[in-house]
Amino acid sequence: MMRRALPALALALGLLAGPAMAQELVEKRVFEGGAYQTRGGATISNLRIGYQTMGRLNAEGTNAILICHFFSGNSHAFGRLAAGGPAGYWDAIIGPGKPIDTDRYFVVSADTLVNVNVPDANTVTTGPASINPDTGRPYAMTFPVVSMRDFVETQKRLLDSLGVRRLALVAGPSNGGLQSIEWAAAYPGFVERVMPVIAADIDAWMQGWLDIWEAPIRLDPNWAEGNYYGQGREAPLRGLAEAWKVVTLHARDRLWAKQYDRQLPEGQDPARRIGDRFAIERWLDEAAMARARTSDANAFIYMVRANQLFLNEYPSFAAALAGGPARWLVVSAPTDRVFLADGVRDFVEVLRGAGKQVETAELAGPLGHLNGVVGMAPAGDRLRAFLAR
């Protein structure tokens, strides 16, 4: 198994490539959390989520940092799971000597419940594709509804098992930023600092967008009300690909799309044939289908619902944040088309109205919302200073 092989691999790399390369390798582990009662009152019999760590927890258990992942991500925020493999999405700011310095901090990142990356061997999650022990078959749409708060509670179980008594920082992009805010509301005494990136409130407008994200899945006949698992059944790949197409374009900016202006794939002429495609359409088709083949449609729907249930246990956004931690660094992208600039300003005003110490930073770049996932390096100095205070 990969988990057993990685330590030996790390040792070999340490001998061959020196300590810097060895420090980049991380091991994917599995947390077995036992029975878990959701915030909605249902019971998940066997909670399992994957996680990874870097650095050492101090004796007091107070130097931990939790990184929460984005909608389509998993725990691979830093390091490499195998020699020569891809680095985690925030590897530019997490590691020895980096802004989140793993010589100083113990950094943890975990797969959420209902993670969409079910076919990925490096993702461990409990969700609709998991086996229901009462029936011996996948839960499908009988899996309990889970909320963003459930993500927090399962992560809290993991942190407790690791001996963490306080978080120096909780941070993450997009869906991970929402989890960070939910953490601040749920455990204000446990969290010292919060850094939500490309995230703000999930208001009714954003709930509506999330419904649009998932709608193509429900329209695919192969979805079959979620009962597509099992031999001889076809997954709703077309609907899932169309869903990913919506998300993919929503998460990018016009500056990124300019490369396709007036471009046509070879052999295509949309001015003459209605079935022919523009270059942007062809790119979206191919990228979205590739993503669909590595994800699960039911998990996508459950992840959407978890986002729609952001801070659902509080009467208002302001009430949720009233008692939260004092120190915040809110990182946004001016060209973000998911969490718009006016929504981020409203978020910051709510924090300041609650008396929080709020710093802000902006990420430039052509990728819009995705600047907060792949473009964090320019914010490294701000993050380093934020942790130093």
DSSP 111: P
Q: Pick the closest to residue 109 from 149, 148, 67 (CA basis).
A: 67
Catalytic residue among 72, 174, 295, 332: 174
Catalytic residue among 201, 220, 296, 336: 336
103 is catalytic: no
Q: Tell me the C-alpha distance between 361 and 119, whole Å.
A: 36
Q: Name residue 141's amino acid.
A: M
Catalytic residue among 76, 109, 332, 369: 369
Cα dihedral sign, 345-347-348-352: positive
Concatenating the DSSP letter of every residue in 18-32 gives -HHHHHHB---EEEE
Q: Pick the closest to residue 27 from 47, 10, 15 (CA basis).
A: 10
69 is catalytic: no
Give me the helices (H) in the chain, please.
Answer: 2-17, 19-24, 148-162, 175-186, 204-219, 237-250, 254-257, 279-292, 297-308, 317-321, 341-353, 371-374, 380-388
Q: Cα 28 to chain center, whole Å?
A: 16
DSSP 90: T
369 is catalytic: yes
Q: Which residues are catalytic?
A: 174, 336, 369
